[in-house]
Amino acid sequence: MARYVDPLVVGRVIGDVVDLFVPTVSMTVRFGSKHVSNGCDIKPSMAANPPTVQIAGQQSDLYTLVMTDPDAPSPSDPTMREWLHWMMVNMPGGTFPSQGEEVVPYMGPRLPLGIHRYVMVLFRQKSRFPGVTPPATRLNFNTRSFAAHHDLGLPVATVYFNSQKEPATRRR
């Protein structure tokens, strides 16, 4: 008898970044033509620019999207956990993030060592944020604390991908 094991549990996203939750909104993330599914591999060069994100739901629903690296600077010694790579607020449902407000500009994967997880967490806002102050630093961001501070509750969707440093191209 086969049992389903949630890839967010297997990938330790639940535990390291967020608490156990039940997804209630469909979120699609793409880097170019590459669809992001939990645990897939994305090359840093492919993720150099912000992804296209589409959120199911009504345009009257507003969302916050946070992207972090819980493995910074290395998976074996994540002393900078979580490194904040992107934050968008006031994103309407059914749209792309360009229609939201970018609080922290997108930063693609920058991997000194090892395979890193990049986690995108979506929260439903209770109301429009009049202005979210960006954190003073990207390092040691805490998704749970941010959500608690802004009364966001549990996530409504989460997806993560893995990335590792690309080999240098050899030129003759």
pLDDT at site 166: 84
Show Cβ contacts of residue 114 under 8 Å, excluding neighbours closer than 6 positions.
71, 74, 75, 76, 164
Mean pLDDT over 100-124 rounds to 93
Mean pLDDT value across residues 122-144 = 92
pLDDT digits (tens, 9 = 90+) for 48-95: 999 999 998 788 899 999 999 999 999 999 999 999 999 999 999 876
Question: Which DSSP string corresponds to 54-79?
Answer: EE-S-TT-EEEEEEEETT-SBTTB-T
Instruction: Please give the Cα distance from 56 to 23 (Å, whole number).
Output: 12
Nearest to 88 by CA among 66, 109, 73: 66
The reported pLDDT for the residue numbered 94 is 79
What is the percent of the chain with per-residue pLDDT over 70, rounded to a whole number? 92
Residue 121 in this model has a pLDDT that exceeds 50: yes
What does the mean pLDDT of the chain come to? 90
Task: Walk me through the domains of the chain, giving residue ranges and CATH numbers.
Answer: 7-162 (3.90.280.10)
Mean pLDDT of 117-134: 92
pLDDT at 146: 95
